[in-house]
Chains A and B, each alone.
Chain A
Amino acid sequence: MTTFTNVLKDFYEREPDRVSVTLMFPGQPDFPITYRELIERSNDYAAAYARAGVQPGDVVILILQHGKDLIYSFWGAVLLGAIPSMMPFLTEKLSPERYRADLSALFSHSHPTGVVTYPEFEADVKLMVSESENTVKEVFITDRIPRQEKPDFSTLPGMKSKETDVVLLQHSSGSTGLQKGVALSHRAIFNHLDAYGEAIRLTREDVIISWLPLYHDMGLIACFLMPILRGVPVIQMSPFDWVRAPYRMLQAISAHRGTLTWIPNFAYNFCAQKIRDRDLEGVDLSSWRASINTSEPVKFKSHQMFFERFKSYGLRLETLQTSYAMAENVFAATQNDVTKLPYVEEVDRESFRSEHLARPAFDGRPAIQMMSCGKPIPNTAIRVVDGKGRDLSERQVGEIVLKSNCMLTEYYNRPDITKKAFLPGGWYMSGDYGYMFNGEIFVAGRKKDIIIVGGKNVYPQDLEALACEVHGVHPGRTVAFGIFDESQGTEEVAIIAEVDTDDENEHERVADEIRKHVTRNSAIAVRYVRVAGPKWVLKTSSGKVARTANKEKFLKELEAGQ
């Protein structure tokens, strides 16, 4: 067992000229970073942090986008033995109100002593930091990090980190997610890389291609830490560039002979629908051995659509793989056997809904198509349990719970929620519903109220709070939920807001405002906004907004074409 800094030291001494990360930017040549460059520039950050009084064990918040500074500032914190945490970078434009709220949510539990950002955001970030009660000693600006001599590993504080020390925090976006940092230790991450590397048969011959944001577990673990710590080349582009030009991922696979990608379900639909042949001239996807679909419900229809669209470019159906992952287990909990097609089955819809039983479809009755996420990875045990924590039989739908040697240390400084997340015996309650069959996991839904849009977890209460900020909305009478859209392959967000009038013009004005306000402050596209007159929103007897009941009511309205 080892620590991050020890691994970097090995690369620095043994293979300094090996290229680790290659950054892609539109219209510019690729920017390769060797281990030497990675470690020396990260050491610049480590020295800057140390000079400002950041101590080993302190949290450093990184408000940065795709680019070399995000990488160097992250590893700089590691070299110092400090704890980096990437702030979800919501939009390309800083919305001051939102960042203020987000920063205060982050500060509330992580008590950072350093924040890193770009010169463009210096004034805003400094103002926000000064306005909130905080422990920040310095706001570091990327263009003012002096170069250092070569790193001296004998004096680097990161060399003294213990395997059990927390090495990073990972947050979901929104004020709810930002108050809950998943704290992971060196040991948990290495245990995960061992188990997951085995499950996907990772070798140094692999080439990972990614457009994923690094603040999310899929991008952070699979496409950042794993390749850097294991010496596997990774080619990264910005999610903002990818969304405008999704063909770039396929061009990158072709150009770099990419073998591995991780992409959420919606991206299969998105690519299949939005990439034109003229952008694929000469593209050859035959090197691509596994594209792992995870972080939102996996749909075989999305795989089929993607395969049909790109098979003439050398894509194989077996390349399309599945996994079930969560930040609390570092990343993956299950993985399909990467040499085989994921198992797909039809289950009887009625039994599934009324008996919570995934019975194979029969007699031509209405069915639901399910795709397996594979078996638990070697270090992870999974059970499916009922509401009292008792084991359910095969094919019975219940909550997925897991135990492994790569669990989170805690939700950082949140013993209250950490305790609630576990069953006796150390089983982590995922909050996801699913069933097992032949030792494979099928994920069927969620117990907790989370909307997953394009692979990103969104807390409905955050969207509801934003909608409430719009003038004219009745306080406390907003509801947000997700509606699965088959053609998009993901959930779309719907928001219902009650106003105190039946005036249609006012409804339209409020709907517009909600759409703009929520999109600008959460970077979540709101597909449906329904502004309703008094008494539309259903509440429970205890006065809480009943999300499921309101969703059903809205769907009925939608079906009736109102």
Chain B
Amino acid sequence: MSAEMHQTIADFIAQKILKQPKRVIQPGDALISSGLIDSFSLVDLALFVEDTFGVRIADSELNATAFDSIEQLVNLIISRQNK
């Protein structure tokens, strides 16, 4: 489940945000603090997560403290889905 989620999110980031479809993103790679994802694209990521997994990420959570890697994002999604 979480591996599948990771892949779905990683594909979205590589294709839509980075425009490098072949780019591999590891579960623990820093996304926000490293500058890989800029603030304009964070909103896209939040909307994608919401549409795909039915979980809302609040705009106050769009920062490296709330999640900075796909692994942390997946955990956030799962914890909300289980509520």
- A residues with a Cβ closer than 8 A to B are 26-27, 93, 240-241, 243-246, 270, 274, 276, 454, 508, 511-512, 515-520, 523-525, 527-529
B window 21-72: CB within 8 A of A: 23, 33-36, 38-44, 47, 59-60, 62
B19 interface hit (Cβ, 8 Å): yes
A273 CB to closest chain B CB, in angstroms? Answer: 9
Subset of 18 A-B contacts with CB under 8 Å? A26-B60, A243-B40, A243-B42, A243-B43, A244-B42, A244-B43, A274-B47, A508-B23, A511-B20, A512-B36, A515-B18, A515-B35, A515-B36, A516-B34, A516-B36, A520-B34, A525-B40, A528-B19
With a cutoff of 8 Å between Cβ atoms, the chain B residues found around residue A508 in the complex are: 23
CA A362 to CA B31, docked complex, whole Å:
49
**In-complex Cβ contact of A244 among B19, B33, B59 (8 A):** B59
A84 CB to closest chain B CB, in angstroms? Answer: 26
B42 CB to closest chain A CB, in angstroms? Answer: 7
With a cutoff of 8 Å between Cβ atoms, the chain B residues found around residue A245 in the complex are: 59
A372 CB to closest chain B CB, in angstroms? Answer: 28
With a cutoff of 8 Å between Cβ atoms, the chain A residues found around residue B23 in the complex are: 508, 512
* Cβ-closest chain B residue relative to A522: B35
B9 CB to closest chain A CB, in angstroms? Answer: 18
With a cutoff of 8 Å between Cβ atoms, the chain A residues found around residue B59 in the complex are: 26, 241, 244-245
Given A523-B38, A528-B19, 18 additional A-B pairs, CB 8 A: A26-B59, A240-B39, A243-B40, A244-B39, A244-B42, A244-B59, A244-B60, A245-B59, A274-B44, A512-B23, A512-B36, A515-B18, A519-B38, A524-B38, A525-B38, A525-B40, A525-B41, A529-B20
CA A27 to CA B31, docked complex, whole Å:
25
- B residues with a Cβ closer than 8 A to A are 18-20, 23, 33-36, 38-44, 47, 59-60, 62
CA A245 to CA B38, docked complex, whole Å:
14
Would you list the 9 A-B pairs with minimal beta carbon distance, nearest first? A525-B38, A519-B35, A245-B59, A520-B35, A244-B59, A516-B35, A244-B62, A243-B39, A274-B43
A65 CB to closest chain B CB, in angstroms? Answer: 14
* Cβ-closest chain A residue relative to B50: A276
With a cutoff of 8 Å between Cβ atoms, the chain A residues found around residue B18 in the complex are: 515
B21 CB to closest chain A CB, in angstroms? Answer: 11
CA A528 to CA B20, docked complex, whole Å:
8
Query: Which has the most chain A C-beta neighbours within 10 Å: B20, B23, B39, B47?
Result: B39
CA A161 to CA B40, docked complex, whole Å:
42
* Cβ-closest chain A residue relative to B36: A516
Whether A246 contacts B60 in the complex (CB less than 8 A), given A515-B18, A516-B34, comes out as no
**In-complex Cβ contact of A246 among B20, B38, B43 (8 A):** B43
CA A245 to CA B23, docked complex, whole Å:
28
Whether A270 contacts B40 in the complex (CB less than 8 A), given A515-B18, A516-B35, A528-B19, comes out as yes
* Cβ-closest chain A residue relative to B41: A525
A107 CB to closest chain B CB, in angstroms? Answer: 26
Query: Which has the most chain A C-beta neighbours within 10 Å: B19, B20, B38?
Result: B38
* Cβ-closest chain A residue relative to B47: A274
A521 CB to closest chain B CB, in angstroms? Answer: 8
With a cutoff of 8 Å between Cβ atoms, the chain A residues found around residue B44 in the complex are: 274
CA A523 to CA B39, docked complex, whole Å:
9
With a cutoff of 8 Å between Cβ atoms, the chain A residues found around residue B38 in the complex are: 519, 523-525
CA A93 to CA B40, docked complex, whole Å:
16
CA A26 to CA B59, docked complex, whole Å:
9
With a cutoff of 8 Å between Cβ atoms, the chain B residues found around residue A270 in the complex are: 40
With a cutoff of 8 Å between Cβ atoms, the chain A residues found around residue B39 in the complex are: 240, 243-244
With a cutoff of 8 Å between Cβ atoms, the chain B residues found around residue A274 in the complex are: 43-44, 47
CA A468 to CA B15, docked complex, whole Å:
25
A562 CB to closest chain B CB, in angstroms? Answer: 13
CA A517 to CA B44, docked complex, whole Å:
22
B31 CB to closest chain A CB, in angstroms? Answer: 10
CA A27 to CA B58, docked complex, whole Å:
12
With a cutoff of 8 Å between Cβ atoms, the chain B residues found around residue A523 in the complex are: 38
A301 CB to closest chain B CB, in angstroms? Answer: 19
A263 CB to closest chain B CB, in angstroms? Answer: 14
A122 CB to closest chain B CB, in angstroms? Answer: 22
* Cβ-closest chain B residue relative to A558: B19
With a cutoff of 8 Å between Cβ atoms, the chain A residues found around residue B34 in the complex are: 516, 520
With a cutoff of 8 Å between Cβ atoms, the chain B residues found around residue A525 in the complex are: 38, 40-41
CA A243 to CA B59, docked complex, whole Å:
9
With a cutoff of 8 Å between Cβ atoms, the chain B residues found around residue A241 in the complex are: 59
B16 CB to closest chain A CB, in angstroms? Answer: 11
With a cutoff of 8 Å between Cβ atoms, the chain A residues found around residue B47 in the complex are: 274, 276
> Is the beta-carbon distance between B40 and A454 smaller than 8 angstroms?
yes
